[in-house]
Structure 1
């Protein structure tokens, strides 16, 4: 990882990602690129004399006057945005982190994806998300949601009112489902774990059969047989995780394995909370932007429900 792209909109919510950026940048040996996006049509700005004249006397302003007025407002907004980024950059530089910044005009989501693409390979986008919906709502819609679905870069999402920052992270959770897609989160997870000397927890959810809940046999078979099958699946999942852990220990010596019977999203959220995990790193599917499991989009459910910082790694076939 070489560059952490941090979009900021000037709000307190967006700035909540900054402590996590200060922690991750040294671990990833990355520099930080701060980004502020000014909308193409400013919502505010000082009234020009031409606007006053047209309001009072009905005197139309010329196209040249309108353009000059628009340019003046945009210039003011750009200066204010750059001053804000300069203040944020100073905090990072005081921690010994290399920082660049830029102010752009355009659509927030599209611009974020474009800037991240310019820093690929090796870019990570870091954003705060809204505490109410799980996604930060900007003026043009859910920017975080659009970015997740459009970018090829990993995305760090910090939930509004998230748990306190732990520097460095002590426990990192990576959910696996047995597929090659889910394993694509492991290189980044193990890199952070190694640099932070953190525990890397590999988690596998073993989905229970519905009859185990309702107590009904399937096709006339006794329930005990179904329980034995579920236990066998659990042991198989645990064996797979242990083999994966053994291959990772050269890079991340402290690797733990957990196979839990339950539905994936619920298992991930519960284990992250019960094990006091500081960071979740999981893969997302290349087609929809979110990895689709048998019971729906696990990544999407985790994103909306957990307060643990989450890195979504875009997987490819």
Structure 2
């Protein structure tokens, strides 16, 4: 049974289902909700959104904290916000933090849309050193 599980959270319904699955299947494990703040360096976020980078990160952290507070769980629920390319950062986090399992949502894209857009879940499955459960 995994002792430490990460659940990447992007605010989607699929990520919410992945969190529910992780909480149900691993009731005693430590769970880390991981949000990857993507899109490049802070300067790009400032240009795109006209907002302060630290404020944007704080809002992502609040979203994760709210999710953690709303759900009951036997083990601890931690939150983490990192910046980078989602698939790369999820794999790196699993590698560097003694993670036993990744549970993540998938948008279920296939065919041309998956080729054009890439699939974070598919990349994580192929590259992470631990088991991955993909929830649709």
Q: Deviations over 1:34-92 (max 9, x none)?
A: xxxxxxxxxxxxxxxxxxxxxxxxxxxxxxxxxxxxxxxxxxxxxxxxxxxxxxxxxxx
Structure 1 regions of 5+ residues with no counterpart?
A: 1-167, 220-225
Q: Deviations over 1:239-276 (max 9, x none)?
A: 0000000112x234411101111111111011111111
Structure number with higher helix proportion: 2
Superposition TM-score, scaled by structure 2 size: 0.83
- State the alpha-carbon separation in 1 of the partners of residues 24 and 94 from structure 2: 19
User: How do 1:181-220 and structure 2 match up within 5 A?
Assistant: 181-194=14-27, 197-209=28-40, 212=43, 218=47
Corresponding residue SS for 1:185: helix
User: How do 1:219-230 and structure 2 match up within 5 A?
Assistant: 229-230=52-53
CA apart distance, 1:204: 0.3
User: How do 1:141-290 and structure 2 match up within 5 A?
Assistant: 168-194=1-27, 197-209=28-40, 212=43, 218=47, 229-248=52-71, 250-288=72-110
CA apart distance, 1:218: 4.8
CA apart distance, 1:287: 4.1
- State the alpha-carbon separation in 2 of the partners of residues 205 and 309 from structure 1: 20
For these two proteins, the number of residue pairs brought into alignment is: 131
Corresponding residue SS for 1:201: strand
- State the alpha-carbon separation in 2 of the partners of residues 304 and 253 from structure 1: 28
- State the alpha-carbon separation in 2 of the partners of residues 179 and 172 from structure 1: 19
Superposition TM-score, scaled by structure 1 size: 0.38
Task: Report if the CA contact (8 A) 1:174-1:185 is conserved.
Answer: yes
Structure 2 regions of 5+ residues with no counterpart?
A: none
